[in-house]
């Protein structure tokens, strides 16, 4: 083995070890969030859960908020792939149907259930941390921007109103999933059926969103 190959192998080994440590810290953090809630979890709790030292933790994260956002960023490829399916349907005549929306929302609800601990911690964090709340709003904006085939129907002020409608639709859907999964007060079948109605009403409408009434 050449010196260069040996160095590359050593570097890969260090990167793999670093990623394994980061993964252990994230999983330990999520375990603490599930058990104690985001607010009551401390870095010391995560250290106790994982057996890591403070220096190790702070070599990866500057606190529990950064650990949480790092874990959330791992969902980006899942989100992007899901919204690409929806966006592609908007570019095809007859591509968007209530049946497709139902399958899409049902699959999206499955993802929420699959990542329930992480997403619940994100909601708790957004309620307690202004920076994380702003991050959650930025996520809603990003989801809307992924629906390029919807937004391009509109221009100027109409486009801005269409964007706001989409953001509000995202917020309503996430709140519905949160309530459905953690409080159990919403029947999943009925909730998704109603969400389909809202999404269909917005996305199937090629008309310009109505302008606000003129002021006095």
Question: Domains in the chain, start-ordered, CATH in brackets?
Answer: 3-64 (1.10.10.60), 75-203 (1.10.357)
Residue 7's pLDDT is 57
Most confident of 49-63, 80-94, 131-145: 49-63
Cα three-residue angle 167-168-171, rounded to 5 degrees: 90
Whole-angstrom Cα distance, residue 150 to residue 163? 9
pLDDT band at 12 (very low <50, low <70, confident <90, very high): low
Q: Is the pLDDT of residue 209 over 70?
A: no
Residue 182 makes CB contacts below 8 A (sequence gap 6+) with: 116, 120
Q: Are 99 and 163 in contact (CB under 8 A)?
A: no
C-alpha radius of gyration, the chain, whole number: 21
Residue 10's pLDDT is 58
Burial label, 212 (beta-carbon count in 10 A; 0-12, 13-18, 19+): exposed
Whole-angstrom Cα distance, residue 171 to residue 165? 10
Whole-angstrom Cα distance, residue 131 to residue 139? 13
Q: Are 53 and 136 in contact (CB under 8 A)?
A: no
- 3-state class (DSSP) for residue 207: coil
Token pair, residue 87, equals 């966006």
Q: Are 112 and 179 in contact (CB under 8 A)?
A: no
Q: Is the pLDDT of residue 129 over 80?
A: yes
Whole-angstrom Cα distance, residue 111 to residue 113? 5
SS3 content of the chain, % helix, strand, coil (to 5): 75, 0, 25
Which region, left, alpha or beta, applies to residue 72 given φ > 0 means left and ψ of -120 to 50 means alpha?
alpha
Residue 5's pLDDT is 59
Whole-angstrom Cα distance, residue 184 to residue 178? 9
Q: Is the pLDDT of residue 11 over 80?
A: no
Token pair, residue 127, equals 């309620």
Q: Mean pLDDT score of the chain, rounded to an integer? A: 90
Q: Is the pLDDT of residue 8 over 70?
A: no
- 3-state class (DSSP) for residue 206: coil
């Amino acid at each position: 083995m050449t010196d260069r190959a040996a160095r590359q192998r050593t570097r890969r080994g260090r990167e793999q070890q670093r990623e394994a440590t980061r993964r252990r810290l994230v999983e330990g953090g999520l375990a603490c969030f599930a058990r104690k809630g985001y607010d009551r979890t401390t870095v010391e709790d995560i250290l106790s859960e994982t057996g890591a030292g403070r220096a190790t933790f702070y070599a990866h994260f500057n606190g529990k908020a950064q650990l949480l956002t790092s874990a959330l960023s791992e969902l980006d490829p899942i989100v992007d792939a899901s919204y690409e399916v929806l966006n592609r349907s908007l570019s095809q005549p007859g591509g968007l149907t209530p049946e497709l929306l139902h399958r899409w929302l049902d699959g999206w609800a499955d993802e929420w259930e699959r990542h329930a601990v992480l997403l619940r911690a994100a909601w708790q964090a957004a309620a307690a941390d202004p920076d994380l709340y702003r991050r959650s709003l930025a996520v809603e904006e990003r989801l809307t921007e992924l629906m390029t085939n919807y937004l391009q129907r509109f221009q100027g002020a109409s486009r801005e109103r269409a964007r706001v409608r989409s953001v509000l639709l995202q917020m309503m859907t996430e709140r519905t999933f949160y309530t459905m999964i953690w409080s159990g007060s919403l029947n999943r079948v009925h909730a998704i059926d109603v969400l389909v109605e809202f999404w269909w009403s917005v996305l199937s409408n090629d008309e310009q969103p109505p302008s606000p009434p003129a002021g006095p």
